[in-house]
Amino acid sequence: MGTSEQNYERLCAMRQENEQRREELAAAQRERENDPLAEAMRQPLVDPLAKWRCEQQQGAPPARQRRLDTSPVNWSAVDQRIGGMRKYLLEVITGTIAELAERQRDAIDDAMRPLRVELAELRISNCEVRAANAELCEQLAAGHVTDLPPLPLRGSRTH
């Protein structure tokens, strides 16, 4: 294939690319014409202050005042509804506080349970130590001390 044929093929390919680009450009322009934002951007800007001044100079009629067609307010019914709502809210809040207090009491009881057991064990150990002390005092008063009994140590006692 010679260079002229290659050039011809390149030229044909370039023409096809240019044609595709023209079609894409035309499609984009059609899209832009149908775009409401683009349409709004083409419209001239209206200055609200200038519009107001123009209306004032022309003597535009003042806006009509509207009156509301409402019946008189029944304030006692409003007070009753507000009172009912307050009562309901008070019941909800007090119920929530009572539930939280109950949970707190349960948590405290759960935390105190092992401490109560330990206190009972310490009281028993204290009684055992007092009994051993009393026994030693009797032996000492009688004048014969054999051997000191082992003191109960915490956690060494078996039941």
Q: Look up tokens 């310490």; give the residue.
A: 122
**Selection from 125, 148, 127 nearest residue 137 by Cα:** 148
Q: Cα 79 to the chain's mean position, in Å?
A: 34
pLDDT at 30 over 50: yes
User: 3-41 in b/e burial notation, b at 16+ Cβ within 10 A?
Assistant: eeeeeeeeeeeeeeeeeeeeeeeeeeeeeeeeeeeeeee
pTM: 0.37
What CA–CA distance (Å, rounded) separates 78 from 144?
Answer: 94
Percentage with pLDDT > 90 across the chain:
36
- Name the nearest CA neighbour of 156 among 128, 137, 114: 128
Please tell me which residue, 130 or 145, carries the higher pLDDT value.
Answer: 130
Q: Distance between CA atoms of 125 and 154, rounded to whole angstroms?
A: 8
Length of the chain: 159
Name the residue among 108, 120, 122 with its Cα closest to residue 154.
Answer: 122
Contacts of residue 121, defined as CB under 8 A and 6 or more positions apart, other chains included, come to 154, 157
Q: What is the pLDDT of residues 46-76, one digit of tens each?
A: 788 888 888 787 775 666 666 667 788 889 9
pLDDT of residue 62: 60
Q: Is 152's pLDDT higher than 80?
A: no
In this model, does residue 158 exceed pLDDT 60?
no
* CA pair distance 87, 129, nearest whole angstrom: 61
Residue 120 has pLDDT above 70, yes or no: yes
Query: Each residue of 77-105: pLDDT tens digit?
Result: 999 999 999 999 999 999 999 999 999 99
